[in-house]
Structure 1
Amino acid sequence: MQSLLPSSALQQLLDARQTPEHPLNRALAADLAWLEQHPDVHPLTLGSNDYPALLADVACCPPLLYVRGKLAALELPQLAIVGSRNPTTGGAAIARDFARCLASGGFAITSGLALGIDGCAHRGALDAGGVTLAVMGTGIDCIYPARHRALAEEIVEAGGALVSEFAPGIRSQASNFPRRNRIISALSLGTMVVEAAVKSGSLITAKYALEQQREVFAVPGSINNPLARGCHSLIRSGAKLVESAEDILSELGGALAYKREQVMESRAPREHWLLSAMGYDPVTLDTLCQRTGQTAGALSAELMDLELEGAVEQRGSYYNRC
């Protein structure tokens, strides 16, 4: 890509101004100066060859994107994975597993770099040696949350990209994140929601996806899990219920020249007699004693083994199957 300095659209706009002290002029000048000091950040103007085509086709696409990483990653077939910032252990595992399987099959995984499901989706793609993109609600130089700085570096080093419409130096503001969600959905062929409350940013992303004529997928959960209600609401509204990466490929496979078996689950779930007795809803130790006829001591030992294997989690006096 040709450098946007000094012949960029930004520079031309700056030169065309008749009032150098105009606040917009000063802001543009500051951005141009910053970009000169950060050659690893690519500013893409709407209409340039490297501006992502899918994003350019939607209403209200940003006139300028800041991209750090591989520009080629923007044109890969992408699947957005979004969800709760405070997922259950099982929800986090689902996001990682789907991302890992789909990334291994050729999808780039796109999310928002947030805590919870977003971070799990990025991590799953990286674990598969795949590409992942993080669309940020801050300036490209302001990683939020701070604990994901190392993750952001891994994304870039692995051939992915950080993407933002916000100028360098823009810090975290609540209003920025719903706005950035339209970019997450627009870059992607479809959006998958894993664990989301009825009123959440993830459902805003799904709404944008529908408006942009993209596919929306939702992972169902227990009726007792409040984080499943947003997904259930999406399914009632027409989102596609998914239980495996294969379900997504059956819908989007036409966009990929990859075999279905490449995105099948890498391993079958571990079968255990106690998991069958637990079912899929939270259950107490006393209830398990009644169902199995086993003593509390014997069941506690089995449950501890299952917890260590990541098959079960304990929350207060209840046990959940992961």
Structure 2
Amino acid sequence: MISGFFGGILSVLLMLITSSVFPLLVLVIVLSLVVQWKMPIIKGKYGEWVVKSKLEKLGDAYTVFHDVYIPNGERGLTQVDHIVTSEYGVFVIETKHYSGWIFGDEYKPYWTQVIYKKKTKMHNPIRQNYGHVQALLTYIGQAEMKDVHSIIAFSPSSTFKFKKDFTLAHVIQFTELLATIKQYKERRINETTVREINAKLGELLVEDKREKKRLKADHLQSIRKVKGAKQTARPHTGDSKNTSTQVASTLQTTCPKCGGQLNLKAGRYGRFYGCSNYPGCRFTENLKSKQQSV
């Protein structure tokens, strides 16, 4: 009976292999696996395209800059998703391509994404964008400029579960982006200043793909450097035998793909570092290679 069962399976497999549709079937399976593997990147690119498309509808009174790398002193470079300039104000936009329920507080270091029963931590985007705003102000030489607005824009597939209103930033969804910007109708910045800001930001625009890739690599390296400096400054105590605890505390760093937190985890093949934004980001790093790089 068992041999008959496996014989039937073997017959079906042989039939598929010899069939003319077998190559097509293999191609479909491979493509589906590749799409699943690249889905976080696909979602991110789609989200960027959606936001760009919306911002292009603002009109001639606004100038839009995308994916800007701003010099940030000793910290290297700061990457800003979108900057909109106008006489009505300057808008610094951080986009988050997350789904599920989003919980967060203005002053807490981490927010939480919940999809069914799975909870994932993310860095507080209001704090992140505050750093972007400060870098921008320093770069354009407008440290006391008041009409700069921080906007955190989430994907429409997210559901907000905030208990309090925000005062330091607009936390919205992509669909609310234009209305949020256009609610500022009073001219607050003179035309000359706007022109000067646009000229400074124009100096940062990079069209060459290789140069853009290099800037991104420099930005990620600066993130690691800052994180490493913070870890080096921490005092280390405890028994040297507690190697797992020491490794977890000294080597924890920032995900080079999405900026999330790399946490020490245990898997089938041993301990490794995984991104806190999983499954949105699937970046992993071998524990041994990370120890060697420090």
TM-score bin (small chain): under 0.3
Report which of the two has the higher share of strand.
Answer: 2
Larger Rg: 2
Normalised TM-score (structure 1): 0.25
